[in-house]
Chain A
Amino acid sequence: MVSVVTAACDYDYLVVGAGVIGCAIARELVRSPVRVGVVEQAWDVGEGASKANSSLLHTGFDAKPGTREARLVTEGWRLWQREAPELDVPILRTGAVMLALDEEQARELERWRRNAFENGVTDVELLTRDQVLALAPAANPSVVGGLLVPRESVTCTFTATVALAEQAAVNGAVFHFGHRVTGVDRSPDGFYRVLTDRGQITTRWLIDAAGLWADEIARWAGADGLVIAPRKGEFLVLDKSARAKVPLIHLPVPTPISKGILVAPTANGNVLLGPTAEDVSDKRDLAVTASGLQRAREGALRLAPALADEPVIATYAGLRPASPAGDYVIEIHPRHRLVLAAGIRSTGLSSAPAVAREVVRGLLEAGEPLASSESPLRPRPRRRWVPGLPRPCSRPELVAADPAYGRVLCLCELVSEGEIRDAVRAPIPATTLDAVKKRTWAMAGRCQGFYCTAAILQVMSRELRIPVTGLTKSGPGSPVVGPPVEPPGRHRHG
């Protein structure tokens, strides 16, 4: 099959935003022999809302019935189950229990049970107090009842986004990192000219998956009316000692305002507390606040007071790109050759594969010659490690085959030199310290890099062939270290 356009423009489809949604769409598009580009302002995939969420794979039991979100989350859950093994994406089917802490909340549970049924999640089950405490030993002893959602699962948002992007890249998608879109023009011949701070990219179709910035992109492309309101969520991460107390996800009974602060295991064996929900105006405001962390902690401890003494190892904040309409905005404008995939808030990780298919379905209806969603993709190189698997350093056959897997650099997470090297050499290379952290979990453990940062910088420097002074945390403007000592390099080692 031949590409339908001439080479007069760079791409047939240009996805703006390499978050989980953008990467999923790119991966779905490269099933067909078309030219797909992804433009991203950050220097890695998944640096926006996809970076800082609760990493849950929702069944959609609590979504508003009849919404697009409810439908796509439910479909997304099923697609993930099918695709995860090939993508090396970990899924822990822990289940979730919604905890009613008083009689009023207990009455609400029945309503949520009906809600789940309406969304096709029919395996939910009302639990008595004793049943709840048997399943969730750390739960608040004053709990009066619960709702069990057995298929609610835990995954890893970093691994998922990177995996989707890598498979897209292996199958021909081209990623432009560090390109911030500054405007969109339509050229006379009908193509889009996407202006970025590093030059322009031309494309036939523009796919807006820009998360928090989706409204700006849409406006530039000529679709008014989309509004994205950032809603901040702050999280705390507990050390692995807490994991044994949290066998499944603990959910509060949602209020009309928010789904509330939850307690969840993570795929990597930690426990997550959060998120808060606060409407903010600044789309770059990723600061954790004293009050936010306190609210997240207090809310979580109401569900599971037994976690009070567990040490916090990390905190973070994320912004959900919410739309005031309260539902996903997925629109295909055939006349403008514009696709909006926006307003996809905290459930985007769960729904991403379904959103991608929805977009492709829309493009097919618009007459685009795309292949079916069942046509195969080239596999990506297998990962040596993903959260939940034994580390390469504990596998004698791997260490024997490659001694770099026996040289452990990050002690808390047991990350070897080999894994750092693999991350740098992957189809989407990890070029920043944060990107390495996202793929290997190095520096993300209890010491947060006290022992290993210097050694990891050395390996990255060697692999990327740039001096340590040229390495960054998250891209230009964030150098990790300062200048060399004068006279340089008195006591080098290693």
Chain B
Amino acid sequence: MAEGPVIAEREVDVLVIGAGPAGLGAATRLAELGVAPLVLDREPVPGGLPAQCEHPGFGLWAFRRLMVGREFAARLVERAGRAGVRIESETTVLEVTPERTVLAVSPSGLVRYRAQALLLATGCRERPRSTRLVPGPRPSGVFNTGVVQRLHTFLGLLPGWDVVIVGSDDISLVAARTLARAGCRIAAVVEERPYRQGYLANEWWSLRSLRIPLRLGHRVSRVLGDWRVRGVEVVPCDAEGRQTAESYEIPCDTVIFSGEFVPEATLVAQARIPSDPRTGGGPLVDQDFQTELPGIFACGNLVHAADPADYALADGERAALGVWRYLSSPPTGNERVQQVLPGTGVRAVVPQRLRWYGERLDPVTLAVRVEPAQRAVRLRAVVSGTRWGQAFAPAAKPHRSVYLRLRPEGPVDAPLTVEARGWPFA
């Protein structure tokens, strides 16, 4: 009997999983450094989530100009191609092992890659209705923003006619604008917290200019409708979530649960890469974006979901340097590791460790998530009473990082603690 089809084996220097901004940013920079990376992406069109975004707000950092997501994604792909990056589309990773073998499948077959270094850049997704435990029946017409964007961008379809958007992150506000301009009626944008999550400018541009109502301090307590959504029941609530007034119905045929991003960390969990519950399950990384497993790196919104695409791109470029350093001088394993811990007013910090390769370290950028939301925030990075760095932000909210750049002073055994002090929000 003839040999059956087998799993092809391939050796690569650097394998990047995910062709979004983070993965493409890293791959492009690595190619420029003389390492040939291979990028695996499971979509037919590479570019990650920006590729399905028709709204502007991308590219200011990378290309010095505001552009729509699709154009931003296309430019990243084109730039990567020019640098010599190979992208395998429609390729889904089934398995990652701690020894850096990766099993992937595409219509042309299964391949087992063996990589010197592996970079995970699988990005993030929104929490669906079911994990938010919103009561009520389960009719059609309940979406995440990501699904709506895809229907709109790739299929030219709208999710419905009368829409309620749940959440006030920038993606939620922009979705309201996009749908309204495409002909939907936006009944309301509903936000459980007492403050708006996205930027003020975005509220003016997306909502106020189109007279779309934003209802802060309103929780969706029930989805209504047996076949198709016929409305939502909302409850006015205070900052602690206690009901403050009678609940009422907003008639609509579409509900979009928006924002509340979590890392797409399936592979992290499957490969048993140690992860940080404070970031929602993203891997623990050091300042070079190396995880606890040697040679496996992770960056972008997989480690801090969800910051704007430009930040993910910047992450990727920094991770590329880490990968390059790893390949040119593999670590001995004897480096000293300093913990980075969230202190007062802080929920999570990325990276979670500093790895000291010698007596000096290059400046490090920390992505800090505050908790709760604060105004006029001062962030301080402190090691046993000594301040290593600080930053100020007029406002900081839990769903988006505030960045703090610091110069490590020298290896010490005490952990680095980041604390935030500011005025309460709203």
A contact residues vs B (CB 8 Å cutoff): 241, 284-290, 293, 311-316, 393-394, 396-397, 399-400, 403-404, 406-408, 411-412, 414, 433, 446-451, 453-455, 457-458, 468-469, 472-475, 477-486, 488-494
Chain B nearest Cβ from A386, distance in angstroms: 19
| Contact assessment for A397 and B4 in the assembled complex, using a CB-CB cutoff below 8 Å | yes
| Contact assessment for A396 and B107 in the assembled complex, using a CB-CB cutoff below 8 Å | no
Binds A, one of B146-154, B167-175, B189-197: B146-154
The reply to whether the CB of B386 lies closer than 8 angstroms to some CB of chain A is: no
Chain A nearest Cβ from B132, distance in angstroms: 9
Chain A nearest Cβ from B56, distance in angstroms: 16
Give the residues from 116 to 132 in chain B that come closer than 8 angstroms, CB to CB, to chain A: 125-126, 128-131
| Contact assessment for B222 and A412 in the assembled complex, using a CB-CB cutoff below 8 Å | no
Give the residues from 159 to 185 in chain B that come closer than 8 angstroms, CB to CB, to chain A: 159-161, 182-184
The reply to whether the CB of B13 lies closer than 8 angstroms to some CB of chain A is: no
A396-B110, A457-B155 known; A477 and B136 CB under 8 Å? no
The reply to whether the CB of B138 lies closer than 8 angstroms to some CB of chain A is: yes
The reply to whether the CB of B137 lies closer than 8 angstroms to some CB of chain A is: yes
A397-B4, A450-B128 known; A468 and B155 CB under 8 Å? yes
A315-B133, A403-B107, A491-B154 known; A482 and B160 CB under 8 Å? yes
Give the residues from 198 to 236 in chain B that come closer than 8 angstroms, CB to CB, to chain A: 221-222, 226-228
Chain B nearest Cβ from A258, distance in angstroms: 21
Give the residues from 71 to 115 in chain B that come closer than 8 angstroms, CB to CB, to chain A: 90, 92, 94, 103, 105-110
| Contact assessment for B5 and A406 in the assembled complex, using a CB-CB cutoff below 8 Å | no
Complex formed: what's the CA distance from A60 to B254 in Å?
44
Complex formed: what's the CA distance from A396 to B90 in Å?
16
Number of interface residues of B (CB under 8 A): 62
| Contact assessment for B156 and A492 in the assembled complex, using a CB-CB cutoff below 8 Å | yes
Complex formed: what's the CA distance from A464 to B124 in Å?
32
The contact sample of 6 A-B pairs, CB cut-off 8 A, is A290-B221, A313-B131, A394-B103, A454-B151, A477-B228, A482-B158
Chain B nearest Cβ from A296, distance in angstroms: 11
Please, which residues of chain A bring their CB within 8 A of the CB of B221?
290
CB contacts between A and B, total, < 8 Å: 176
Please, which residues of chain B bring their CB within 8 A of the CB of A488?
156
Chain B nearest Cβ from A240, distance in angstroms: 9
The reply to whether the CB of B414 lies closer than 8 angstroms to some CB of chain A is: no
| Contact assessment for B138 and A316 in the assembled complex, using a CB-CB cutoff below 8 Å | yes
A313-B130, A483-B157 known; A478 and B44 CB under 8 Å? no
Please, which residues of chain B bring their CB within 8 A of the CB of A449?
128, 144, 147
Please, which residues of chain A bring their CB within 8 A of the CB of B156?
484-485, 488-492
A399-B105, A406-B105, A407-B107 known; A479 and B147 CB under 8 Å? no
Residue of B nearest to A402 (CB): B107
Please, which residues of chain A bring their CB within 8 A of the CB of B135?
287-290, 293
| Contact assessment for A241 and B269 in the assembled complex, using a CB-CB cutoff below 8 Å | yes
| Contact assessment for A485 and B158 in the assembled complex, using a CB-CB cutoff below 8 Å | yes
Please, which residues of chain B bring their CB within 8 A of the CB of A479?
140, 228
Please, which residues of chain A bring their CB within 8 A of the CB of B393?
none
**Residue of A396, A450, A451, A492 touching B154 (CB-CB under 8 A):** A492
Residue of B nearest to A410 (CB): B92
| Contact assessment for A458 and B155 in the assembled complex, using a CB-CB cutoff below 8 Å | yes
The reply to whether the CB of B1 lies closer than 8 angstroms to some CB of chain A is: no
The reply to whether the CB of B397 lies closer than 8 angstroms to some CB of chain A is: no
| Contact assessment for A408 and B158 in the assembled complex, using a CB-CB cutoff below 8 Å | no
| Contact assessment for A480 and B140 in the assembled complex, using a CB-CB cutoff below 8 Å | yes
Please, which residues of chain B bring their CB within 8 A of the CB of A481?
151, 155, 157-160
Residue of B nearest to A401 (CB): B5
| Contact assessment for B42 and A485 in the assembled complex, using a CB-CB cutoff below 8 Å | no
Chain A nearest Cβ from B171, distance in angstroms: 12
The reply to whether the CB of B6 lies closer than 8 angstroms to some CB of chain A is: yes
The reply to whether the CB of B271 lies closer than 8 angstroms to some CB of chain A is: no
* A-B pairs, 9 with minimum CB distance: A473-B140, A403-B107, A448-B128, A400-B5, A408-B92, A477-B227, A454-B150, A482-B160, A489-B156
Residue of A nearest to B277 (CB): A309
Complex formed: what's the CA distance from A481 to B158 in Å?
6
Chain A nearest Cβ from B228, distance in angstroms: 5
A457-B155, A483-B161 known; A474 and B140 CB under 8 Å? yes
| Contact assessment for B105 and A485 in the assembled complex, using a CB-CB cutoff below 8 Å | no
Complex formed: what's the CA distance from A408 to B107 in Å?
9
- Which of B90, B135, B269 has the largest count of A CB atoms less than 10 A from its CB? B135
Complex formed: what's the CA distance from A155 to B164 in Å?
38
**Residue of A312, A447, A485 touching B183 (CB-CB under 8 A):** A485
